[in-house]
């Protein structure tokens, strides 16, 4: 296995100083004493640190920070926070900061002090608004987007949700499900990946002569809303939930109602869904990859319009 690359965070930990001090000492910026500068350089040499071309170019930027825009109504979902942690870790490796920015459609925009921007789950409601104040900022979209302003996206990263949903459905069928239903989102504009989940579900059903049954729920459904979905499921012997966390709560509610036969599955696994079939989007790694893609964009290492596929994996109940 290759030896992990030494980062300024490793040097900072070894010396007990901040990553900003290490970065300034190594690259001749900021107010750092000569003694500290020599100490940092000596530690860097002993640890085998190699400066990164992209990091060097980023340090000549205006703000030494990148932004991450997350829709306000999903902040409570574990995926988005894990994604943010991963993006912050990747940014820190380059000695720059991550600014977390939430966005509600219709709220006035203001310019952010950043050199590049990650926009997660862009929709036609949120994306054009984001560009009002950041039109000259390099952008990486997390999830495909082809609406107004899409030509300004420098690159995007996404998982293959249309294929992933069919992987989940095939696993449910292997476990005995013959009539799976799908619980999609309602009440807001869907990002393209959610639409692809529904399309993938419908295609899978048609290919097997199964009548598709799409139900709808909000981002954070209450117990009464989940109960209504269970009542409306009818003959469905499995339910695939798009919204993170809902499948776990639905399974618990179904069990309290005496239903131990309907399988529950999720398109976004979390720590509470380890006993469900689902997709592990590897959120922290996703955030790291997205941030590194943006850093490569800023370093002129990525062609405009490039796409990166993030590998997600099927997760199944332990044991």
Q: Taking CA 203 as the corner, what is the angle to CA 197 and CA 207, rounded to the nearest 5 degrees?
A: 145
Distance (Å, whole) CA 251 – CA 89: 34
The whole-angstrom separation of Cα 143 and Cα 159 is 7
What pLDDT shows up at residue 19? 77
pLDDT recorded at residue 24: 74
Does this model's pTM top 0.85? My answer is no
Q: Report whether CATH 3.40.50.2300 matches the domain 161-280.
A: yes
Given pLDDT bands bounded at 50, 70 and 90, which one contains residue 2?
very low
pLDDT value of residue 161: 96
- Tell me the C-alpha distance between 265 and 283, whole Å: 18
| Topology match between the domains 65-159+283-310 and 161-280 | yes
Domain boundaries, the chain: 8-51, 65-159+283-310, 161-280
Q: What is the pLDDT of residue 1?
A: 39
* Cα–Cα distance for residue pair 147/160, rounded to 1 Å: 19
Pick the CATH number of 65-159+283-310 from 3.40.50.720, 3.40.50.2300, 3.40.50.300, 3.40.50.620: 3.40.50.2300
Highest mean pLDDT: which range of 32-41, 51-60, 233-242:
233-242
Residue 128 scores a pLDDT above 90: no
Would you say domain 8-51 falls under CATH 1.10.260?
yes
Q: Which helix (H) or strand (E) holds 166?
A: helix 161-174
């Amino acid at each position: 296995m290759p030896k992990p690359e030494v980062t300024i965070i490793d040097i900072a930990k070894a010396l007990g100083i901040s990553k900003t001090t290490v970065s300034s000492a190594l690259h001749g910026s900021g107010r750092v004493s000569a003694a500290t500068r020599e100490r940092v350089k000596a530690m860097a040499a002993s640890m085998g640190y190699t400066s990164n071309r992209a990091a060097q170019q980023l340090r000549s930027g205006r703000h030494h920070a990148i932004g991450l825009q997350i829709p306000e109504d999903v902040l409570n979902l574990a995926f988005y926070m894990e994604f943010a942690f991963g993006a912050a870790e990747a940014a820190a490796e380059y000695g720059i900061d991550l600014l977390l920015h939430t966005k509600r459609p219709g709220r006035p925009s203001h310019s952010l002090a950043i050199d590049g921007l990650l926009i997660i789950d862009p929709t036609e409601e949120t994306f054009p608004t984001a560009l009002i104040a950041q039109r000259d900022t390099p952008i990486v979209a997390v999830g495909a987007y082809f609406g107004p302003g899409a030509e300004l996206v420098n690159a995007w990263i996404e998982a293959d949700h249309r294929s992933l949903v069919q992987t989940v459905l095939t696993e449910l069928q292997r476990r005995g499900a013959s009539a799976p239903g799908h619980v999609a989102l309602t009440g807001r504009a869907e990002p393209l990946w959610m639409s692809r989940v529904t399309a993938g579900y419908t295609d899978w059903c048609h290919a097997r002569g199964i009548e598709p049954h799409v139900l709808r729920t909000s981002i954070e459904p209450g117990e009464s809303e989940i109960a209504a979905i269970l009542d409306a499921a009818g003959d469905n012997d499995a339910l695939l939930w798009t919204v993170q966390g809902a499948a776990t709560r639905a399974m618990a509610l179904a069990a309290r109602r005496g239903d131990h036969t309907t399988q529950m599955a999720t398109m976004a696994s979390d720590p509470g869904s380890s006993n469900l079939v689902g997709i592990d989007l590897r959120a922290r790694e996703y955030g790291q990859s997205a941030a590194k893609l943006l850093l490569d964009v800023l370093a002129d290492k990525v062609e405009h319009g490039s796409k990166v596929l993030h590998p997600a994996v099927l997760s199944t109940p332990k044991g």
